[in-house]
Amino acid sequence: MPLIPFARQSKKAGYSGERLKNLFLRPSDEQTPLIGRSGLKAAFSLTGAVRAIVDQNGTGFAVSGGAVYKIASGVATNVGTVDDAPTQMAVSATEVAIVANGKYYICDGTTTTEYTTGAVTNPVGVAFIDGYFVVAGTSGGRGDAITVSGLDDGTTFDALDFAFAENSPDDIVSIIEDHNELWLFGSSTVEVWYNAGASGFPFARSQGRTLERGCTANTASKEDNGVFWIGADLRAYRSGGSTPQVISTREVEEVIEAGSLDTSFIADIRGHKFFVVRFKDQPAQAYDLTTQLWCEFSTGIGEGPWIGCCSGRVGSAFYVGTSSGVIATLDKDTYQDLGAYIEAEAVSVPISEADYVTINKVHMNIEAGDVNAQGEVMLQVSKDGRTWGVERWRKLGKLGQFWRRVVWHSLGTGRRMQIRVRITDPVGRDIYGLTYE
């Protein structure tokens, strides 16, 4: 009984048409299982779309709907307001710096106040390194300027302490601190700077560390000893010394080109970490750092976006901020996103032969029982990868039955056969393999 070469990643724009939505591959010595994405479970309800979450010595700070919240002892307390716009935050031991809508703010844990940033106006990003807040923005009509705050004081800036990212005349769109270096993301290039210890302005550009691939605004993230971003050419990149490494497939790039790009962030789901590329109008594309394969995350039935839009670890807790104003945890035993459906879908790679293929029976092993619900799984067959046959629904198991073999009969004949399975009920959906005869 052959094992169907089931989906490994999402490549729906290409010939294979394989797809994983709200499922991802987990390497195994036996049949490679597909793991269901954890659902979002509400932790804090705030005021609007959550823009950013950061940790300061075990205390969380978040920006939501233009309000700044301090998260401590299981309570979210409003500690000020900022403009409601894409937001970047950075923290020192005593201050939280916030950049939103071209403005710079400092929160001291009790109040939030706007400050000017010396020679730099219209800030676009902020990072903290070696006791300094570094702000990127505009100076003298140029959009590639950076300035530094006073040492251990994010409220003061010397008008003479600034510099320009001069390797290329492109504007800075984002800034990140990684491994005690500053990454200045321009629209055409990326420069890496370090603390050279000079008097006045302490930072300098690292020679030979200019990357000839710029960044799309709000898409830079860091994780797993690397920096990730979406380039101006709409490819996904990971840092690799002085040469950026393309991590997107051509199929993923076509999806990025067609969508309305929103932002990116890191998600930690069931032991896998993902670089999540979020769109406003379609499912997110998620790059699995463990397998180096892509899948998709969405909320609801159909092709809508994932409501997750930012993330942050506070102490040992990992949180996802949502577009609905809720800060949530990712819970493997929660099969909805804040009460909304999670549609799990897997499309196999094509089964093709020179002669015809006949599939008389398909067996699917799934861990899907749930003490609170009994769900169903749907299977369809396609002979061309575009049109799909009748929906064939099967029960997933009785209450409390956590291992189930589901069987379908008489699935047809063709030169190119492809199988799609889908689960929408709020039950487990880890799939441990399909075989056919």
Print the SS3 string covering 41-53: EEEEECCCCEEEE
Residue reference for tokens 């790679």: 349
Which pLDDT value is given to residue 243? 82
CB 44 within 8 A of CB 327: yes
CA 406 vs. chain centroid, Å, equals 33
Which pLDDT value is given to residue 73? 93
CB 190 within 8 A of CB 240: no
- DSSP 3-state assignment of 382? strand
CB 214 within 8 A of CB 187: yes
Which pLDDT value is given to residue 207? 85
Which pLDDT value is given to residue 434? 79
Domain segments of the chain as ranges: 19-37+345-436
- DSSP 3-state assignment of 407? strand
Is CATH 3.40.225.10 what the domain over 19-37+345-436 is classified as, yes or no?
no
- DSSP 3-state assignment of 178? strand
Name the residue among 91, 13, 15 with its Cα closest to residue 57: 91
Which pLDDT value is given to residue 190? 94
Which pLDDT value is given to residue 365? 85
Which pLDDT value is given to residue 403? 63
Which pLDDT value is given to residue 203? 95
Which pLDDT value is given to residue 65? 97
Predicted model pTM: 0.94
Name the residue among 274, 236, 228 with its Cα closest to residue 255: 236
Residue reference for tokens 């629904």: 393
In 10 A of CB 295, how many CB atoms? 28
Q: Which two tokens stand for residue 112?
A: 């939030």
Which pLDDT value is given to residue 29? 64
Please identify every stretch of the chain with a pLDDT value under 50, giving residue numbers as ranges.
399
- DSSP 3-state assignment of 218? coil
Residue-wise pLDDT for 154-176, tens only, equals: 999 999 999 999 777 799 999 99
Which pLDDT value is given to residue 367? 80
Which pLDDT value is given to residue 355? 75
Q: How many CA atoms lie within 13 A of 366 on its CB side?
A: 29
